Amino acid sequence: MAIYSLKTFITKQGLAGLILLSLLALPFNPAQAGQPLKPGTEVFAVAPEKVVEISYRTADFWFLAHRWQVGDRFTLIFLKKGKPLPERCLAGDGFQTVLRQLTSLKLRQTPTPEQVKEILRLHPLSTWAELVIRDDSALEPFRAWMRPVADSSGEVWLHFLDATYRVNLDSQVLKLISGGCQTLGQGKSP
Amino acid sequence: MKRIEVDLEEQMVRAYEDDKLVHEFICVTGDDDHPTDKGTFKIFRKQHPYRSKTYDVPMDYAMFFTEDGKALHQYHGPAPLSLVRTLKTELTEWFGSHGCVRLEEDAARTLYEWAPMGTRVHVS
């Protein structure tokens, strides 16, 4: 389609069109390193009511929250290394805290490339938790890697695509997740 | 209350807070084959950086407002957006997007930082 349109365009516009297209191929606008976002800006956010799945996975723990459609209650599944059977429950109030926090990841600081290189040297991504959030739109799910900041509670390192950020995340969230149905299930509060 | 207005004819994006114009940017919207949806929407997802798997292109400072993935985002093409916009409006729709609202980098970042989740987007 694009090729057909291009041919049509050149045919219609003649030499002038060809020149214009040639000019467009020139790197007028080379990629520039963008300014970092302002602290407090959400580097990722999604409307919680549109979320249908959250997966949080480490080397020995996997938390999956799933619902077939928006409006349904989430079913929570916890798998722990060494435990043959998963723990399963319906989501309770504690889960709403987790959902709210994970769907609004606000920037605390953008580290320098040197800092990122050092963080990833000390802690390869394979040791980070994988976070996947799927919503009910046609968009691909958000996939990121997360690691608590060693010297600060309430913050995590977040890595996705080619970006690494230091973002706010209530220290309760990871504790709630690791508590399983006891903290996130129906009838339990954080 | 904040809101964003996308004017398809003018190829302009305007941001209002309590009916006061606070930002105004040029943009490039969808071509004839992939028109930007008209109507009133809400921003339901924000992400920076973002890369479209469908088109295998970057869409940084993405603010999605339709279920099929149309967003306001940074334009990453080789030519200045102002030139692309002129070519689209003056010469041919071929220079339009696949339905997204493309913005210059500064504009995309400013709007991304300014607009909270749920901001109304009106396309007309």
* pLDDT 10s digits, A93-102: 999 999 999 9
Give me the CATH number covering residue B32.
Answer: 2.40.440.10
Do B77 and A29 count as a contact with CB atoms less than 8 A apart?
A: yes
User: Where are the domains positioned within chain A?
Assistant: 1-28, 42-184
Mean pLDDT value across residues A110-118: 95
Q: Within an 8 Å CB–CB cutoff, is residue B60 touching chain A?
A: yes
**Distance to chain A for B19, nearest Cα, Å:** 23
Segments forming the whole domain that contains residue B23:
2-123
In chain B, the residue whose alpha carbon lies closest to the alpha carbon of A44 is B47
* Rounded distance between C-alpha atoms, residue B63 and residue B61, angstroms: 7
pLDDT per residue as tens digits for the range B98-123? 999 999 999 999 999 999 999 999 99
Interchain CB distance below 8 Å, B78 and A20: no
H helix runs in chain B, sequence order: 81-90, 105-114
Share of chain A above pLDDT 70, in %: 81
pLDDT in tens, B13-71: 999 999 999 999 999 999 999 999 999 999 999 999 999 988 899 999 999 999 999 99
- Please state the domain count of chain B: 1
Test A1 with B67 for CB contact under 8 angstroms: no
**Which tokens hold the place of A19?**
């020149």
Q: Does residue A23 contact residue A16 with C-beta atoms inside 8 Å? A: no
Model's pTM, two decimal places?
0.88
Q: What percent of chain A has pLDDT over 90?
A: 75
Q: Mean pLDDT throughout A1-16?
A: 49
State the DSSP H helix or E strand holding residue B71, giving kind and residue range, or none if neither: strand B71-74
What tokens does B62 get? 């993405």
